[in-house]
Amino acid sequence: MIKANITSTGKYLPKNIVTNVDFEKIIDTSDDWIQNRTGIKQRRLVKKNETTADMSTFAIKDLLKKRNLDPNDIDVIIIATITPDMTFPSTAALVQKNLSANNAWGFDISSACSGFLFALETGSALIKSNRYNKVIVVGADTMSSILDYTDRNTCILFGDGAGAVLLEKSHKHGIIDSKLHIDGNGADFLKMEGGGSLNPTTLDTVNNKMHYVYQNGKQVFKHAIRGMSEVSCEILKRNNLNSNDIQLFIPHQANKRIMDAVANRMGLKPQQMFSNIEYYANTTAATIPICIDEAFESGKISKNNNLIISSFGAGFSWGSMYIKWGI
């Protein structure tokens, strides 16, 4: 049976570091509060004119260099993002042009913090179709473009960044199993209402701050712990894995307290979970591929290891995936 194996990884983080102390100067908050409630110390934010397509392009270049590939080798580019450069054309098209990837087609996927997981499932299906050899899946978000920097409830939580993986065929390694969910009953708890067909952009939508992230933090917090832990436990169970069989668990990096609670419910020890939230905050679709790249580069995951990745985000959307690491 063909499997989609991750054969290279890449990432890009903007150079510009914004610390919690920097936020103390512009909103009523404190470094202590942010660290204690979220685990975040700093985040990276783009400079003016740096976009989701730019960050995705850099992440893919990093991935291609490590695998010694040419952009013309790419068959498909899938970009998971909720902050595309423009509503259309797709970010994937802009990235294809930046790279001169002349043999690629591609598209964007929008599912907020679960975007990368959903895109990875899609990329995996394309590989398993046996029609494509090299599929690149990117998670990238410029969250600073949709945040209200006067709203302390949301602006401290997010950062900008991009991560990418290359999928190729394997018979032994790669994505073994996954379980994904959406539930639109959660739509009102985490959303950006302005600019779509429901509320086309007007002076009123701008004045009413409808082009910014709105979040009911408590509701999202509660559902995130339950959603990620239930679906990840189910993935363990149906693959006959117990907690000791897992070398690394990579949860979506939204809040360290959520991540710890999920790992705990899965019966994992703290050292089995990968975390970099303190440096980058929540980069939405980018958290998991950035973690995958850092975990691999630092030797925290190696060939034949069992990796579980799990996400939760707007929609609600959530899921878990079991990967037998193959490089």
Residues with catalytic roles? 113, 252, 282
Which residue, 141, 147, 146, 145, is CA-closest to 161?
141
Concatenated DSSP letters of 177-190: EEEEEE-GGGGGGE
Residue 156 binds ligand COA (CB under 6 A): yes
Rounded Cα distance between 116 and 78, Å, is 9
Which of 179, 209, 217, 260 binds ligand COA (CB under 6 A)? It is 217
Site string (83-122) toward ligand COA, x via CB under 6 A: ------------------------------x---------
Taking the C-alpha atoms of residue 205 and residue 134, their distance in angstroms, rounded to an integer, is: 42
Give the residue, chosen from 218, 240, 271, 298, that forms a contact with ligand COA under the rule CB under 6 A: 218
Contact 232, 310 (CB under 8 A): yes
For 32-44, give one letter per residue: b (16+ CB within 10 A) or e: eebeebbbbbbbb
Span near ligand COA by CB under 6 A; candidates 43-51, 86-94, 134-142, 215-223: 215-223
DSSP state of 193: -
Residue 127 vs 220, nearer CB to ligand COA: 220
Compute the least distance from the CB of residue 112 to ligand COA, in Å.
Answer: 7
Can you read off the two tokens belonging to residue 105?
Answer: 């087609």
CA distance 20 to 327: 37
Nearer to ligand COA, 34 or 126 (CB): 34
- Of 104, 146, 224, 250, the residue at the interface with ligand COA (CB under 6 A) is 224
List phi, psi (to 5°) of 19: -90, 170
The DSSP code for 273 is B
Asked if 199 touches ligand COA (CB under 6 A), the answer is no
Pick 144 or 215: Cβ nearer ligand COA:
215
Residues between 18 and 77 with contacts to ligand COA, criterion CB under 6 A:
29, 33-34, 37-38
Q: Is 191 in the site for ligand COA (CB under 6 A)?
A: no
**Could you give the dihedral angle defined by the CA atoms of residues 129, 307, 163 and 81, in that order, rounded to the nearest 10 degrees?**
60
Quickly count: other Cβ atoms within 10 Å of residue 185's Cβ: 10
Q: Does 144 bind ligand COA (CB under 6 A)?
A: no
Q: Is 166 in the site for ligand COA (CB under 6 A)?
A: no
Q: At what angle are helices 52-67 and 91-99 packed, to 10 degrees?
A: 50
- The residue among 77 and 155 lying less far from ligand COA, judged by its C-beta, is 155
**Rounded least distance, CB 214 to ligand COA, Å:** 11
CB neighbourhood size of 123 (10 A): 26
Beta pairing class for 17-19 and 135-142: unpaired
The CB-of-1 to ligand COA minimum distance in angstroms stands at: 33
Footprint of ligand COA on 273-302 (CB under 6 A): 282
d(CA 281, CA 105): 31
Which member of 56, 255, 283, 317 binds ligand COA (CB under 6 A)? 255
Closest approach of Cβ 10 to ligand COA, in Å?
24
Q: What residues line the site for ligand COA (CB under 6 A)?
A: 29, 33-34, 37-38, 113, 152-153, 156, 190, 215, 217-218, 220-221, 224, 254-255, 258, 282, 312-313
